[in-house]
């Protein structure tokens, strides 16, 4: 093993002890928190919802969402697992997020406050956001985009990203947002799979005072995936970019033409019409386009945000994720607007130019509810308490976390140093496929550091053995969901068989949804998520598939075969280790390691770059040729290899 491969792991045994202690550490809600909760009797509401989940969702669909035409039936399960929700209902998410608010007092309320990494400030009232969305919707229409067409969006964290999403939704187009941290091949694959004829992008994006060349990357991707006919480029950095005549148009020029009129009808959508595709990694193969639809998704995200984060009309809400992931779709763009609250968006890095940037923003904009990922908390924790302590964080009322298990130590730091022991920590477990929070406390639920606590009202989640029998308390098992919910994904874009195979075949007989995660439940029924059981690796909360990184490695001329695994890391949760078999005659030098890292960065993106690459002569495989990643992991961690009876050689 090279020195680089020396693991910096957080020994599993120690984590076990830490968690057992945390299980006994209970934080009941304060009286003050309960007194102002939106749903103070949540535990009773939840019990009722679990007795009759149809009635619960029916009531929420009427409470939070306007329908052009009412639905005839809440749930149609006649073709499971292809469930239908709010059958026959007509709606549009852009109506609920914008149109309806501008006829109320909210029209002058701030919908979005945005700060650029360079300190630039932009604000949008509901009225102004509505105008911008209508104008861009007309631009898309004039480019020939129709109901049911897909639009790929590849941008930095700018308000125009939300405007492009809402504009697509408004005219019934299906958006596919590709995270701006992805690179050439990743973008090309996603455009190709979605068959988008229109791409919306930026010239560049600001990150840590430097620019990311989004348009250059998009140009490369379009060479590999030529289906795109029109590119709309929002100018953010002003850097020099190539504009191809007849294909590429500037956002600001189009928005100044008469076609960009602020009169635009909202398309009437069926509850089950597609709303968006979001690509995510799964077991083997290329990324899957997870499909969400127009009706149930809205009901689900509005309810979960209102209940779990207890938002009020006067609140300022900051979800610090990227709009390019499901967290951003549901809880930066759509749900806050549906609820009519004021959202905040920040363009850049948390520690730029100094490690107090986020704390400074919370103080400056008086943020009330703040939601981020464990990896960010751990990263900022390393700079010490002095950074947050020089800011007035007293506006904060609730804090949240998502993306990976939060270690109790980081939880306690977040609770004490940021929340000053006043703010409940809402640890939300969910997935791209679930649309919204699934296992989460609300402010009235007693907390345990490191546990996402209990399933949301109406959600029947459990931890079971391979044969479907329930696990004993504290026994590790498969995390499953036993009944449908409105925010669930409806299919994998263009590949319904894969949808069934991926999520509904592990517990086919029972008809349960398999999450891909392992978990345990303690004796109080609290859920402790352990992590992925499949070939998905969570790096800093970002979801990556082994297959995509491996195929990037083997696309390099010197690599014959590759295998990647996730190895625990104190800061990032996991890091990527890669094993490569080189082609005959290639010399194994350090220069090649760097070159391969650069190659992965260019093909997939910076988040996918392996922390270490080891050159090997063979890879452990089963007799049927499947790489045994478990053995590679045991080797890196210096653990016992366990059962090797299926090993070919
Ligand atoms: C996977 C899904 C960013 C939105 C949700 C992520 C892990 C997510 C938690 C949590 C422990 C968590 C799971 C899950 N995960 N939230 N609170 N505690 N693990 O969506 O990118 O589709 O990833 O993230 O492993 O399966 P995603």
Strands (E), 352-412: 369-372, 398-402
Helix (H, G, I), strand (E, B) or coil at 500: helix
C-alpha 447 to ligand 1 mean position (Å) = 19
**Ligand 1: distance of its center to the CA of 481 in Å?**
15
pLDDT, one tens digit per residue, over 390-424 is 999 999 999 999 999 999 999 999 999 999 999 99
> 125: CA distance to ligand 1 center in Å?
32
Mean of pLDDT values over 62-84: 98
CB of 516 shorter than 6 A to ligand 1: yes
pLDDT computed for residue 82 by the predictor: 98
| Confidence band of 13 (pLDDT split at 50, 70, 90) | low
d(CA 8, CA 12) in angstroms, rounded, equals 12
Do residues 329 and 276 make contact, with C-beta atoms less than 8 angstroms apart? yes
Query: What pLDDT was estimated at residue 16?
Result: 67
pLDDT band at residue 535, thresholds of 50, 70 and 90? confident
User: Is 280 near ligand 1, meaning CB less than 6 Å away?
Assistant: yes
Average pLDDT in the chain = 94
Question: Which residues, including other chains, have CB under 8 Å from residue 136's CB and lie 6 or more apart?
Answer: 160, 163, 164, 167, 255, 260
Report the C-alpha gap between 184 and 576 in whole angstroms: 20
The closest alpha carbon to 600, from 153, 186, 155, belongs to 186
Supply the DSSP symbol for 348: S
Cis before 542 (ω within 30): no
DSSP 8-state secondary structure symbol assigned to residue 622: B
> Given pLDDT bands bounded at 50, 70 and 90, which one contains residue 7?
very low
Ligand 1: centre distance to CA 177 (Å): 18
- The three-state (H, E, C) secondary structure of 45-68, written as one string: HHHHHHHCHHHHHHHHHHHHCCCC
Q: How far is CA 387 from CA 347, 383, 420, in A?
A: 20, 7, 14
Give the per-residue pLDDT at 520: 96
Q: Is the CB of 281 under 6 A from ligand 1?
A: no
Residue among 451, 543, 566, 568 to mutate when testing ligand 1 (max atoms within 8 A of CB)? 543
**Torsions phi, psi for 339 (to 5 deg):** -80, -10
**Span 67-77, average pLDDT:** 98
Beta bridge partners of residue 543, listed in sequence order: 538
Q: What is the largest CA-CA distance in the chain?
A: 72
- Nearest CA, atom 24, ligand 1: 403
Would you tell me the crossing angle of helices 42-51 and 53-64 to the nearest 10 degrees? Answer: 120
Closest Cα to atom 5, ligand 1: which residue?
431
578 and 567 Cβ atoms separated by less than 8 Å:
no
In short, whether 452's Cβ falls inside 6 Å of ligand 1 is yes
Q: 66 pLDDT band (50/70/90 cuts)? A: very high
Tell me: pLDDT of 167 over 80. yes
Q: Give per-residue pLDDT as tens, 431-463.
A: 999 999 999 999 999 999 999 999 999 999 999
pLDDT tier for residue 5 given thresholds of 50, 70 and 90:
very low
* pLDDT, tens only, 242-282: 999 999 999 999 999 999 999 999 999 999 999 999 999 87
Residue 24's pLDDT is: 87
Tell me the three-class secondary structure of 557-615, residue by residue.
Answer: CCEEEEEEEEEEECCCEEEEEEEEEECCCCCCCHHHHHHHHHHHHHHCCHHHCCCEEEE
8 Å CB contact between 325 and 287: no
Return the best residue to mutate from 300, 324, 371, 404 for the ligand 1 pocket (most ligand atoms within 8 A of CB). 404
171 three-state secondary structure: coil
Residues 184, 215: contact at Cβ < 8 Å?
Answer: no
Please, which pLDDT band fits residue 14 given cuts at 50, 70 and 90? Answer: low
Nearest CA to 451 among 516, 372, 530, 538? 530
- Residue 259 burial (CB count, 10 A): 13
Q: Phi, psi at residue 108, to the nearest 5°?
A: -95, 5
Ligand 1 atom closest to the CA of 325, numbered from 1 = 3
Other beta carbons within 10 angstroms of residue 28's beta carbon come to 11
The pLDDT tens digits of the residues spanning 329-375 come to: 999 999 999 999 999 999 999 999 999 999 999 999 999 999 999 99
pLDDT of residue 2 exceeding 90, the answer is: no
Chain position carrying tokens 């914008």? 98
Is the pLDDT at 3 greater than 60? The verdict is: no
Nearest CA to ligand 1 atom 17: 429
Contacts of 255 (CB under 8 A, 6+ apart): 135, 136, 139
Q: Label residue 8 by pLDDT band (50, 70, 90).
A: very low
pLDDT band at 552 (very low <50, low <70, confident <90, very high): very high
């Amino acid at each position: 093993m090279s020195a680089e491969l020396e693991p910096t792991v957080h020994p599993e045994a120690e984590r076990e002890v830490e968690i057992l202690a945390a299980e006994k550490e209970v934080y009941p809600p304060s009286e003050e928190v309960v007194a102002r909760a939106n749903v103070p009797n949540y535990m009773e509401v939840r019990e009722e919802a679990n007795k009759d989940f149809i009635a619960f969702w029916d009531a929420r669909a009427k409470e939070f969402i306007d329908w052009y035409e009412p639905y005839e039936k809440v749930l149609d399960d006649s073709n499971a697992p292809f469930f239908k929700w709010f059958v026959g209902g007509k709606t549009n998410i852009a109506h609920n997020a914008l149109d309806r608010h501008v006829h109320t007092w909210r029209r002058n309320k701030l919908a979005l406050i945005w700060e650029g990494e360079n300190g630039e400030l932009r604000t949008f009232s509901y009225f102004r956001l509505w105008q911008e969305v209508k104008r861009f919707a007309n631009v898309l229409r004039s480019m020939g985009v129709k109901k049911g067409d897909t639009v790929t969006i590849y941008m930095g964290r700018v308000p125009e990203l939300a405007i492009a999403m809402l504009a697509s939704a408004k005219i019934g187009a299906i958006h596919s947002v590709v995270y701006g941290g992805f690179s050439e091949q990743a973008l090309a694959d996603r455009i190709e799979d979605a068959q988008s004829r229109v791409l919306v992008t930026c010239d560049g994006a600001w990150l840590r005072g430097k620019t990311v060349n989004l348009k250059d990357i998009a140009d490369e991707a379009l060479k590999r995936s030529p289906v795109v006919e029109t590119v709309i480029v929002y100018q953010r950095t002003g850097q020099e970019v190539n504009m191809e005549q007849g294909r590429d148009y500037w956002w600001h020029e189009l928005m100044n033409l008469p076609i960009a009129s602020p009169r635009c009808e909202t398309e009437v959508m069926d509850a089950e019409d597609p709303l968006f595709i979001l690509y995510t990694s799964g077991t083997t193969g290329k990324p899957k386009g997870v499909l969400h639809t127009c009706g149930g998704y809205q009901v689900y995200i509005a309810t979960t945000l209102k209940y779990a984060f207890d938002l009020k009309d006067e609140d300022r809400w900051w979800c610090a994720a990227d709009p390019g992931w499901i967290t951003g779709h549901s809880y930066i763009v759509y749900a806050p607007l549906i609820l009519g609250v004021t959202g905040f968006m920040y363009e850049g890095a948390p520690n730029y130019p100094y490690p107090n940037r986020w704390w400074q923003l919370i103080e400056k904009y008086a943020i009330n509810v703040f939601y981020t990922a464990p990896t960010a908390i751990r990263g900022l924790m390393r700079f010490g308490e002095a950074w947050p302590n020089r800011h007035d964080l007293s506006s904060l009322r609730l804090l949240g976390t998502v993306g990976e298990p939060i270690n109790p130590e980081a939880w306690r730091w977040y609770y004490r140093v940021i929340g000053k022991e006043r703010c409940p920590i809402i640890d939300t477990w969910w997935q791209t496929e679930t649309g919204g929070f699934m296992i989460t406390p609300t402010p009235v639920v007693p907390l345990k550091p490191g546990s996402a606590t209990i399933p949301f009202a109406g959600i029947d989640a459990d931890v079971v053995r391979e044969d479907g029998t329930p696990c004993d308390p504290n026994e590790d098992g498969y995390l499953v969901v036993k009944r449908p919910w409105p925010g669930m994904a409806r299919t994998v874009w263009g590949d319904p068989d894969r949808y069934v195979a991926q999520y509904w075949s592990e517990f086919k007989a029972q008809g349960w949804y398999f999450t891909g995660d392992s978990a345990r439940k303690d004796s109080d029924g609290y859920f402790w998520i352990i992590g992925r059981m499949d070939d998905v690796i969570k790096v800093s909360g970002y979801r990556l598939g082994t297959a995509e990184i491996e195929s990037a490695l083997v696309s390099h001329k010197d690599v014959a075969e590759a295998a990647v695994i996730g190895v625990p890391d104190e800061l990032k949760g996991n890091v990527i280790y890669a094993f490569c078999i080189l082609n005959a005659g290639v010399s194994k030098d350090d220069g090649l390691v760097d070159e391969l890292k650069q190659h992965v960065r260019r093909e997939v993106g910076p988040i996918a770059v392996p922390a270490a690459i080891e050159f090997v002569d063979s890879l452990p495989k089963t007799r049927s040729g499947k790489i045994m990643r478990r053995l590679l992991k045991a080797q890196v961690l210096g653990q016992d290899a366990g059962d090797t009876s299926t090993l070919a050689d």
